[in-house]
Amino acid sequence: MEAPPDRSTTPGRFITFEGGEGAGKSTQVRHLAAKLTAAGVATLATREPGGSAGAEEIRELLVHGAAARWDATAETLLHFAARRDHLVKTVWPALQRGTWVLCDRFADSTRAYQGAGQGGDPAFIEQLYGAVVGDFAPDLTLVLDLPVEVGLARAAARRDGGARYEGMGQAFHQRLREGFLEIARRAPDRCRVIDATASEEAVAAAVWSTVAERLELAP
């Protein structure tokens, strides 16, 4: 499928999780996937960059190596190349089947990391979005927010490799946090900010409450 499904005729929903390093997005994707599955909703958990064979190969180029390996334009192009493969091979077919897709990062991460964080041109990012993604957008975006120092400490303790972005400095990560919050302010119908300083269980409860309210599920 090389074009997005008709959202008016398919029951699948696309939910994205955004936030800085150490915000707990992967953990909350797993919690929500388990909750939806228990409720009888067909669910697919995926991630960006990645989520398809080609996109996972590009991911390796992005998350490893020196912090200055790519400039903002090169990174933006790599992310959108991975995103296109992910959408065509994974996300759109799943939605067409009626599956709910939960994605750990999507285009808002490009806007925040390569735009706000690295100083990339927002107009260029939106041009690429239109060419690569079209008018397709998440049904709901959950922005997990926490202070930069807390997130970086959590990320350092995680030690799961791919720490390139974590090494970009405190000022970068502060711009990143502000970028995500600005995205949420500009798109209140799509985005909801979740306090990620709370316990894992409390964040999971807030995520579920938001999903149930916004997408009309039984709580």
Q: Tell me: the pLDDT tens digits for 5-45?
A: 888 888 899 999 999 988 999 999 999 999 999 999 999 99
Question: What domain count does the chain have?
Answer: 1
CATH number for the domain harbouring residue 167:
3.40.50.300
From first CA to last CA, the distance across the chain in angstroms is: 33
pLDDT of 218 reads: 58
If we measure between CA atoms, which residue out of 127, 89, 84, 123 comes closest to residue 106? 84
Greatest alpha-carbon span in the chain: 47
pLDDT of 132 reads: 97
Q: Is 41 exposed, middle or buried (0-12, 13-18, 19+ CB in 10 A)?
A: middle
Q: Tell me: the pLDDT tens digits for 137-152?
A: 999 999 999 999 998 8
Residue 62's domain comprises: 14-214
- Give the global pTM: 0.93
Answer whether residue 1 shows pLDDT above 80.
no
If we measure between CA atoms, which residue out of 109, 107, 110 comes closest to residue 137? 107
Asked, for residue 153, whether it belongs to a domain, the answer is yes
Asked, for residue 7, whether it belongs to a domain, the answer is no
Measured between alpha carbons, how far is 61 from 198 in angstroms, rounded to an integer?
33
Asked, for residue 2, whether it belongs to a domain, the answer is no
Q: Tell me: the pLDDT tens digits for 38-76?
A: 999 999 999 999 999 999 999 999 988 887 889 999 999
pLDDT of 168 reads: 73
Asked, for residue 6, whether it belongs to a domain, the answer is no
pLDDT of 170 reads: 87
Asked, for residue 1, whether it belongs to a domain, the answer is no
pLDDT of 103 reads: 98
Average pLDDT over all residues of the chain: 92
